[in-house]
């Protein structure tokens, strides 16, 4: 799956629905689905608010693929990039305190996913890569 959309806050909900529909073929539990929707929301919101400063002219891309029991998702922006990635990954740190951001986005993504990686280049954008293994509902009932 590859999906590109304008960096508009309304598109965060669109991204959640698209990822939910895509992962449905793995028959995730409600908990797994909620984890994925929350992680994708955080990544897309970061791209819109921090990568593009809410400039709708920017583009956010989600790339996804399924391999076996896992879904891999990558959220890409070509915005401003992250000046200090180590600092940005610290719980409660936000570069936008005036917007009342919690500073927990990266922490949430890392805790809800099985693998999480952020690569960013100042002035060149950010790439957030995540992977989640989906337990089969059938295995829960056997």
Q: Which of 11, 16, 46, 127 is catalytic?
A: 46
Q: Is 46 assigned a catalytic role? A: yes
101 as an active site residue: the answer is: yes
Check 11, 16, 32, 42 and give the catalytic one.
42
Among 45, 41, 42, 63, smallest CA distance to 53 is for 45
Under 8 Å CB-to-CB from 17, ≥6 apart: which residues?
none
Residues with Cβ < 8 Å from 66, sequence gap 6 or more?
22, 23, 25, 26, 72
Considering 89, 101, 110, 135, which one is annotated as catalytic? 101
* Catalytic residue set: 42, 46, 101
């Amino acid at each position: 799956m590859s999906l590109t959309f304008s960096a508009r806050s309304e598109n965060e909900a669109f991204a959640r629905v698209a990822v939910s529909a895509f992962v449905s073929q793995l028959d995730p539990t409600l908990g797994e689905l909620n984890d994925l929707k929350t992680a994708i929301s955080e990544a897309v919101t970061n791209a819109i608010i921090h990568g593009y400063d809410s400039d709708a002219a920017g583009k956010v891309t989600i790339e996804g693929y399924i391999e076996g029991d896992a879904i891999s998702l990558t959220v890409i922006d070509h915005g401003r990039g992250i000046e200090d990635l180590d600092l940005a990954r610290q719980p409660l740190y936000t570069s936008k305190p005036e917007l009342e951001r919690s500073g927990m986005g990266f922490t949430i993504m890392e805790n809800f996913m099985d693998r999480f990686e952020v690569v960013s280049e100042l002035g060149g954008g950010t790439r957030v890569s995540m992977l989640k293994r989906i337990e089969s509902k059938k295995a829960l009932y056997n």
